[in-house]
Amino acid sequence: MRLRQTLAYSLSLIILSSQSIILAQTIDGFSAGRSPDERRLEEQFRALPAPNSAREHLRRLTAEPHVAGTKEDY
């Protein structure tokens, strides 16, 4: 009897862990067939904003002070 319980418990753990691995390969809201495409697109978009270009854009945007909050604003 104890052997059956141990085997049943072990089998349950194996099944549950394999399901989590399978489910981890899909993205919520996307089918198993479309998840790889979505992952690829997300990687492409993550590569777009390079830190150096963002730093340069911020430097240009903040080169001159904005008039909001100064005497000239009133």
Query: What residue ranges do the domains of the chain occupy?
Result: 9-62
- For residue range 34-61, list pLDDT tens digits in order: 999 999 999 998 888 788 888 899 999 9
Q: What is the pLDDT of residue 37?
A: 92
Distance of alpha carbon 16 from alpha carbon 28, whole angstroms: 18
pTM for the model:
0.39
Q: What is the band of 32 on the pLDDT scale with cuts at 50, 70, 90? A: confident
- For residue range 3-27, list pLDDT tens digits in order: 888 877 777 777 777 655 555 678 8
Q: What is the pLDDT of residue 56?
A: 92
Half-sphere exposure of 5 (CA within 13 A, CB side): 2
